[in-house]
Chain A
Amino acid sequence: MSLLAQSIINGLITGSIYALVAAGYSLIYSTNNFMHFAHGISVVAAGYMVYWLFTLAGTPFYVTCIITVILSALFGLAMYRLIYLPLQRKGASNVILLIASIGILTFFQNVIQIAFGSGVKLIGYIEVAKGITFAGITMTLLQIVILVISFIIFIMLYQFMQRTKLGRNMRAVSNNKELASIVGINHIRVSDFSFLIGSGLAGVAGILVALEQNLSPLMGTNLMIKGFTGAVIGGINYVPGSIVGSFLLGLAENLGILVLPSGYKDAIAFSMLFLFLLFKPNGILGKKEGRFDK
């Protein structure tokens, strides 16, 4: 029994990390309509920023977190303004932008590797110790914090998308870019904000991933693939959907290997990705008028 309960908790922890990656990714996808795979590097860069500011330079932890989130947001904006937007203005198709995003991901992975080396980095803010056991479930304080922070962020994000003018504009652009332009919404400005907010979320994800796991230059690819899979499962053009999808993915991976040999963990994730792409490309909660079937 406790094995099942513990696995559900493990799935939720994994899922919350996937969801933090997927939320920002899906926010950017829904307003810009191209695959921003370099989102993964925003997460990793944020993690290394924490390592640099906190572990190496000794900046207080909370200051480090604030600086990291702000710089991540600006990093995202810079990617849009310096690379994607100029390419779009030259009439580049979404495939070109996808390739450009993979290029950015690879490029910065190598920059990080040159700057920090290929070894594993530990933040060392929290001492490694046995988690708190409650009703047969063991969780560390950090994992509880991660779950709580992700829930708070997701609620805030949802409220923002539903209640604020900017959020409504984002949904309008996501829904129909031409129509949004006609009613006077500046889609470049909306894209600016989607990159700022989405990459800021990547900053939060980076901080939490750096604390919960370790840092290595190549971790971005894996995080991105899992975040993308979660987003597709839940509905890539709808932020709440991609969050739900990521939690489902985390649960499926961890519950799946209770029955199957653990070597099948990634196979479970990718089988789900294929099944959804084939039979439900808009995901569980994705909108019918989504771009995948156009």
Chain B
Amino acid sequence: MRTGKFGKVAIVMLIILGILFTAGCTDTEEVTEDTGEDTITVGIMGPYTGGAAVYGNAAKDGAMLAFNEANLSNVEVIVEDTKSETKEAATAMNKMVSVDNVQAVVGDLISAATLAAAPIAEQNQVVMISPASTSTDVSDAGDYIFRTIPGDDGQGIFAAQTMSDAGYTKLALLYTNDQYGNGLATIITEEFTSLGGEIVAEETYEAGSSDMRTQLTKIKDANPEVVYIVSNTPDSSVALLRQVTEIGIEADIYGSEGLKVGSILELGDSVEGITITSVSPESEEFKQKYMDEYGEEPPAFAAQAYDAATAIIMAIEDGATNGEEIKDKLYEMEFDGASGHIKFDENGDVEGGYVLVEVQDGAFVTLEE
């Protein structure tokens, strides 16, 4: 056969690299030596590849910072990539429950992914604390499901009130066609109309897509005074804001916290003056710690993940040894975390606060409230 040796070598290399890559995905990061019988396994899950990877990695870094700091001798941490996909979240949770015997998990980030994994966690009495899932449905996901970020009701009501207070009456909504986008849009619509405003256009797009020209054309045609954009992937955020300028929408632009990613600043002058509703910023102390460790400012959700990990650590330090005991401790605890005051209510939610962030001179500036 004339198949060159090189061809065969290349195929073998591809296979080996493939195996290495897959192996690299489920790396076990042991914090300390396994001390035997009473080791408690804690998981971190989130999108480390795929569309939401930027947020996932930030959250993982934030959580790892807390675990490394606490350096508990009886805790082992494992990491699972859920690839920004709902079904992967269920798979990862199943694996962690049945193979690794985890008692508590920090994650997932995407609301739909958290909700897919939640029933498995609930059934197996495993605590789940999401640092980023803001869908209102997460409140009712179960006793074992917590989050360190306030739900969409908070952000939606805050956004609607802010825009109404600023004197806008004609609002256009553009949001991702998923749990997060639909949830937030519903709340804004209810609140904004009850405040006397009018929704003049409502358009959706698939998360991660980068062509929204016709949606924006329809919005332009409806002549709104203000457009509120809900985005949770950087791809779409950048594409959207670029096309808003290119199509020539004159209305003021507001957006959800998903727009607060560094890459939109590269769009230059065209994003000046965009206003983003965002959860209250992380504490200066955490910011410093994160910068010392990773050499950059903490991206969105890093502080919330740090707090989620801290809550689990505090419960374990307090003597909890399994999921059920951790859950009970969580409902009792109260502390000032990196992202704000943490006190879980009966739904496992935190209250949190919001601020407005504006793009000024190519940087995100938090406006004084």
Contacting residues of chain B (266-298) with chain A, CB-CB under 8 angstroms: 266-270
**The residue from A6, A103, A119 contacting B217, defined by CB atoms under 8 A apart:** A6
Cβ contacts under 8 Å, B235 to chain A: 120, 214, 216, 219
Contacting residues of chain B (1-38) with chain A, CB-CB under 8 angstroms: 1-4, 6-8, 10-11, 14, 17-18, 21
How far, in angstroms, from A122 to B119 measured CA to CA in the complex? 39
Q: A83-B11, A122-B238, A128-B246 are in contact. Are A13 and B213 (CB under 8 A)?
A: yes
Q: A3-B217, A218-B51 are in contact. Are A265 and B248 (CB under 8 A)?
A: no
Cβ contacts under 8 Å, A10 to chain B: 213-214, 217
- CB <8 Å contact, A130 and B245: yes
Interface size on A, residues (CB 8 A): 48
Produce 1/0 per residue, B49-85, CB < 8 A to A. Answer: 1110110010000000000000000000000000000
Q: A213-B239, A257-B215 are in contact. Are A81 and B7 (CB under 8 A)?
A: yes
Cβ contacts under 8 Å, B39 to chain A: none
Q: Is the interface of B mostly helix, strand, loop or mixed?
A: helix
- CB <8 Å contact, B213 and A14: yes
Closest to A209 in B: B210
Cβ contacts under 8 Å, B205 to chain A: 262-263, 265
Q: A82-B6, A86-B3, A130-B248 are in contact. Are A118 and B49 (CB under 8 A)?
A: yes
- CB <8 Å contact, B270 and A128: yes
How far, in angstroms, from A222 to B51 measured CA to CA in the complex? 12
Q: A13-B213, A128-B268, A254-B214 are in contact. Are A266 and B206 (CB under 8 A)?
A: yes
Interface size on B, residues (CB 8 A): 52
Cβ contacts under 8 Å, B6 to chain A: 82
Shortest Cβ distance from A187 into chain B, in angstroms? 15
Tell whether B263 is near chain A: CB-to-CB under 8 Å: yes
Closest to B247 in A: A138
Tell whether B204 is near chain A: CB-to-CB under 8 Å: yes
How far, in angstroms, from A60 to B155 measured CA to CA in the complex? 45
Q: A7-B214, A263-B204 are in contact. Are A130 and B246 (CB under 8 A)?
A: yes
- CB <8 Å contact, A218 and B204: no
Closest to A142 in B: B246
**The residue from B21, B206, B238, B248 contacting A110, defined by CB atoms under 8 A apart:** B21
Tell whether A163 is near chain B: CB-to-CB under 8 Å: no
Q: A118-B54, A120-B234, A140-B246 are in contact. Are A127 and B49 (CB under 8 A)?
A: no
Cβ contacts under 8 Å, A219 to chain B: 210, 235
- CB <8 Å contact, B49 and A110: yes
Tell whether A90 is near chain B: CB-to-CB under 8 Å: yes
How far, in angstroms, from A86 to B50 measured CA to CA in the complex? 31
- CB <8 Å contact, B214 and A89: no
- CB <8 Å contact, A82 and B7: yes
